[in-house]
Chain A
Amino acid sequence: MIATHTLASGMGGLRTAGDLVARMQMTGMRVGEAKKYVAGKLKVSTRDLADEVIMNEVRDDLNIGRVVSHHGKARGIQAKMNIGKLLNLELNSVRRFMEKVN
């Protein structure tokens, strides 16, 4: 069921920019406002945000994690550190991680 919804109307998560738009919704933004915010930060159009080909390259350039996880590239908490800086968000998971590292 989740797979069907994701294919029918989902943004695509890590395959595209779905996780980034979700992060802005988690601050209370409606979907249109969240898409515009993320598109502005990534310097792409809102339609590009759900395009797998474009977003795979953009994510690789910005080192914010991709669905194909190559060596030498950020993933997991590393990618989230870069996402927080990009979206100007202090992510809770990153803050908790850094509390243990510092």
Chain B
Amino acid sequence: MVLTRFGDGELIEVDGSKIKEDLQAGMEDASDRGKIAPLRSEDLDRLYEICTRPGKMVGVEKGNEIIMTGDSPSIGSVPRGFSVNRLQMLQTYERVCGMDTAESGFIDYSYKAVKTVATEERSWVEQASHLLTIPLFYGAMPDLGRYSRPDGPVHNWAELLPQGKIGESRDAQEEAAEYCIKDLVYVASEMYEGGAEGIDFDTTGAAGDADFYAALKAAEILKEKYPDICIEMGMAGEFVLGMHGRLTYDGVRLAGLYPHEQVKLAEKAGVTIFGPVINNNSKKSFAFNLARAVTYCRACVEAANIPVHPNVGLGVGGVTTVEVLPVDVVSRVSVAMAEVGKADGL
């Protein structure tokens, strides 16, 4: 019998054959939905070994280490309720945690919100760029929903759609995307000129295909403006929601794209590092979710010409959906993504 977990984090004890069965099912689910190649039998064997390896914490073999980027570690103290400023948080990640990169960010993690305090943000990003030795990113969400009423200037497409006002809904999303592109380019330019070495468009596509479109267009404009800029694009979900349904980029319809297709458009837009998201199903086992996530990740890595850093935080990439994450789960996801998913980083 093997101690493992459910997708919601519950500790369970199951027979090894059940883990093998769930790994196979998770892999087939990803392969069917994404229309991507299944994992090889030796990959499934390796995932089984990772799932059942004794020990609370597991790690990669020496030489298989990969690069860590993170979405806004500088504001990590706020939800945890302790008083440390953002510069101190970044130095802690650099000098205590051994992070490969650092990311600065604002507690209202949205480019639209940062726009109003961009000059102040740039000021502390400049200080951080002098203090840190590891590469410094600035990150926030494109967050297209913020541009709809009552928070923003355009009609709320989530209200228009149930009324059957499809055309008006599409017009509103297109208008919101134009506002969003301007804010992404403005804030990213401020931070890059302040000394940040990378820009992170995190949780891209959270509001659907128009959200993804805005981030792609902003990346394109920024790459033209600053050819050396590093842009990381982390996604919001495993496929792009078709809230608009007809938006295209480079002739490709955005709605419904899976990670191995998303990354090709990100490359065309000038994105440097791509972060696919694979959603967790809390009603399935950890083994099911892990195999599913690794199958998607592997297909994305094989399709990509740029580094791929899958998202492996709460509820994504095989990590259980629970507030305090179990170390056994997180470390097994880490190893599986590096050694079977062939990720360039996390």
B344 touches A25 (CB 8 A): yes
B2 proximal to A (CB < 8 A)? no
Tier of interface size on chain A: 35 or more
Q: Is the interface of A mostly helix, strand, loop or mixed?
A: helix
A sample of 4 more A-B contacts (CB under 8 A), given A8-B330, A12-B100, A80-B133, is: A5-B68, A5-B346, A18-B65, A93-B195
Q: Which of B310-339 contact A (CB under 8 A)?
A: 312-314, 319, 325, 327, 330-331, 334-335, 337-338
Q: Enumerate chain A residues within 8 angstroms of B196, measured Cβ to Cβ.
A: 92-93
Cβ contacts A to B, 22 pairs, < 8 Å: A1-B314, A1-B330, A3-B97, A4-B325, A5-B312, A6-B99, A9-B59, A10-B66, A14-B94, A26-B197, A26-B230, A26-B273, A27-B272, A28-B307, A47-B62, A50-B63, A51-B62, A76-B130, A76-B131, A92-B229, A93-B136, A93-B195
A18 CA to B58 CA, complexed, in Å: 20
A13 touches B68 (CB 8 A): yes
CB within 8 Å for A92 and B307 given contacts A8-B59, A8-B331, A14-B94? no
Q: Enumerate chain B residues within 8 angstroms of A16, measured Cβ to Cβ.
A: 98
A27 to chain B, nearest CB (A): 7
Q: Enumerate chain A residues within 8 angstroms of B12, measured Cβ to Cβ.
A: none
B102 to chain A, nearest CB (A): 9
B307 touches A30 (CB 8 A): yes
Q: Enumerate chain B residues within 8 angstroms of A83, measured Cβ to Cβ.
A: 133
- B192: contacting residue among A29, A34, A92, CB under 8 A: A92
Q: Enumerate chain A residues within 8 angstroms of B9, measured Cβ to Cβ.
A: none
B101 touches A31 (CB 8 A): no
B133 touches A10 (CB 8 A): no
A18 touches B68 (CB 8 A): yes
- Contact bitstring B115-141, A, C-beta under 8 A = 1, else 0: 000000000001001111111100000
A9 touches B230 (CB 8 A): no
B327 touches A19 (CB 8 A): no
Q: Which of B51-65 contact A (CB under 8 A)?
A: 57-60, 62-65
B208 proximal to A (CB < 8 A)? no
B57 touches A4 (CB 8 A): yes
CB within 8 Å for A25 and B67 given contacts A9-B337, A18-B98, A76-B133? yes
- Contact bitstring A29-54, B, C-beta under 8 A = 1, else 0: 11100100000000000110111000
B224 proximal to A (CB < 8 A)? no
CB within 8 Å for A79 and B133 given contacts A14-B95, A97-B195? yes
Q: Which of A79-98 contact B (CB under 8 A)?
A: 79-80, 83, 90-93, 96-97
- A26: contacting residue among B66, B73, B272, CB under 8 A: B272
Q: Enumerate chain A residues within 8 angstroms of B197, measured Cβ to Cβ.
A: 23, 26, 91-93
A14 to chain B, nearest CB (A): 6
B205 proximal to A (CB < 8 A)? no
A91 CA to B272 CA, complexed, in Å: 15
B70 proximal to A (CB < 8 A)? yes
- A9: contacting residue among B60, B192, B198, B307, CB under 8 A: B60
Q: Enumerate chain A residues within 8 angstroms of B344, measured Cβ to Cβ.
A: 25, 30-31
